[in-house]
Structure 1
């Protein structure tokens, strides 16, 4: 009996010391939160008809955008932005070339009216890349607003650049800590190239991510990945300055969002909500201890392909899924000329499929 008690005492001591070590190491300042309810979406395999291209050019083509020159652009984990043309409506491998290397991690991208590629770079800031490949830093990370993780971008007709900053606490390499902490320090910002004015337009966002302007730039959407919702900020009309919810209670954690210029917003969902994080929502101390573990140990894996098409009032028009793992962790969906172009942080390829029939 004495031996058993000694073993138990040693085990408790080891656990206590281990807990103290995790607590001391953890950068988290977690808060209790209430997980959102998750709407039920019927499973399907409507993404299974996609085709993949640009195999093994690089890893993690998060976004795919079409330039004014008719070429398509995507960016990789190693900092390269490559462009390519089409042959018979499909990406032509013989046309692939490196456009530029930012030396950082380019994520969301969009062209402005002058033909410059505006890039949200997780490490370098908000960039403008001229057609010649010359890179200009529009917004540095060492500014007075404590920007840490610029993620996505869209450009208004008047040239104003709208972009998201995921968190004032964590960057790309340890983004999972922001989801665990739930402190909601993300922001939506705007930058005017004409005046150089940088403004915070919305704050208190739970992992601010994808950004897309609405019809006539009358409002702007920003995804809150950690809250599984899309938030809207009105820019014009009687509601100007009002912030409301465009869609919430999503079953997954939205990444980028894009507008097809007519009647549909395409929402990429790389993963379903984390059951573990939601289960621990009322227990900040446990999440504090988990924050003592390396970030890469906490990132969940997913083989789900998932994207939604939303109407102008936030209703679901398209529910596109695949469960075979062939193309998963979808981070962007952009519509061009009757085709959907998909990017992914995890895949070594891009994917394309025709715009499906409305459900």
Structure 2
């Protein structure tokens, strides 16, 4: 009995020591939150293999082509983990051999991108800020982190018809390398902002967003959408009419965590879903102390790993039009979806390639 008591006491002491170490190391200040209703891959989100036949390109050229955009001259651009932004030509949904070339290296981590009306590539760079790159490759910092200490993680961007640049600041607490702590903490410090080129002024429009991510303007710029990755919902800010300045929920209770979003200019918002919701984090929604301890683990151990490819297409009223998935692993951790000339292009933070498929296949 004496050995048992001593052993039990030692085990309890070790647990206490480990707990104290995790608490002291944890960078998060977890708060209680209400987990979304989560019905899994059922109903309109039922599992399928409709993404299994995508074609992949630029294989093994670099890691993490996060977003893909088409320039005014028809060339395509994507940005990599090492700071490179490359361009290439496409014909009938295929990357033309020999057309790939490096455009610039931002020295940071290019994420969401969009072209303005003057042909400049506007880049949401996680490390460098909001950038504008001229057709000649000259880089101008529109919004620098050093000039605004409230900014921490510029993530995605879209540009209105009047030239206003809309962008998201995913977290006021964590950057790209340790973003997972923001999702565990659940303090909802993300924001939606705009930048006016003519004045050089930045304005905050929405605060309290749970990891503000993808940004897309709606038809006629009447409203702008911002993905809340941690809340598995898409929030809408009205820009015109009697409700201008108010916001509502475009769609919620998604089975996954939405990343980037894009509008095809007609009738569809494409939403990238890199991962399903974490059942473990949701189960601990009302236990912030336990999540505080979880935050003591290395970020690399907390990032979910999945081979699921998941893309949604939403109508302009928020209804689910397309549910495209594949568990085959051919293309997964999808972070961007963009439609050009009848083809849908996919980017990913994890894959060493980009992917594409004809939109006609999903009707």
What interval of TM-score do these two structures reach, taking the shorter chain for normalisation?
A: over 0.9
Instruction: Report what 1:10 is aligned to.
Output: 10
Instruction: Report what 1:263 is aligned to.
Output: 267
- The secondary structure found in structure 2 opposite 1:95 is coil
Instruction: Report what 1:27 is aligned to.
Output: 27
Alignment equivalent of 1:147, drawn from 134, 147, 151: 151
Q: Distance in 2 between matches of 1:317 and 1:86?
A: 27
Do the aligned residues in 2 keep the contact of 1:82 with 1:96 (CA within 8 Å)?
yes
Q: Distance in 2 between matches of 1:89 and 1:187?
A: 35
> What TM-score results when the alignment is normalised by the length of structure 2?
0.97
Q: Distance in 2 between matches of 1:105 and 1:23?
A: 31
TM-aligned CA deviation for residue 87 of structure 1: 4.2
> What TM-score results when the alignment is normalised by the length of structure 1?
0.98
- The secondary structure found in structure 2 opposite 1:44 is coil
TM-aligned CA deviation for residue 235 of structure 1: 0.2
- The secondary structure found in structure 2 opposite 1:8 is helix
Q: Distance in 2 between matches of 1:161 and 1:88?
A: 30
TM-aligned CA deviation for residue 29 of structure 1: 0.5
Give CA-to-partner distance per residue, 1:202-260, whole Å, 9 cap, x none: 00000000000001111000000000000000000111011000000100000000000
**Structure 2, unaligned runs of 5 or more:** none
Q: Distance in 2 between matches of 1:162 and 1:244?
A: 18
Give CA-to-partner distance per residue, 1:322-350, whole Å, 9 cap, x none: 11011000000000000000000100000
- The secondary structure found in structure 2 opposite 1:13 is helix
- The secondary structure found in structure 2 opposite 1:231 is strand
Alignment equivalent of 1:281, drawn from 277, 280, 285: 285
Do the aligned residues in 1 keep the contact of 2:343 with 2:356 (CA within 8 Å)?
yes
Q: How does 1:1-359 map to 2 (within 5 A)?
A: 1-39=1-39, 40=42, 41-87=45-91, 89-144=93-148, 146-356=150-360
Q: Distance in 1 between matches of 2:195 and 2:96?
A: 35
- The secondary structure found in structure 2 opposite 1:253 is coil
Q: Distance in 2 between matches of 1:345 and 1:337?
A: 24
Q: Distance in 2 between matches of 1:176 and 1:208?
A: 13
Give CA-to-partner distance per residue, 1:246-282, whole Å, 9 cap, x none: 0001000000000000010000100110111111111
Aligned length: 359
Give CA-to-partner distance per residue, 1:266-308, whole Å, 9 cap, x none: 0010011011111111111110001111111111101000011
Do the aligned residues in 2 keep the contact of 1:54 with 1:93 (CA within 8 Å)?
no
TM-aligned CA deviation for residue 145 of structure 1: 5.3
Q: Distance in 2 between matches of 1:88 and 1:213?
A: 27
TM-aligned CA deviation for residue 3 of structure 1: 1.6
Do the aligned residues in 2 keep the contact of 1:212 with 1:222 (CA within 8 Å)?
yes
- The secondary structure found in structure 2 opposite 1:142 is helix
Q: Distance in 2 between matches of 1:136 and 1:224?
A: 28
Q: Distance in 2 between matches of 1:45 and 1:356?
A: 16
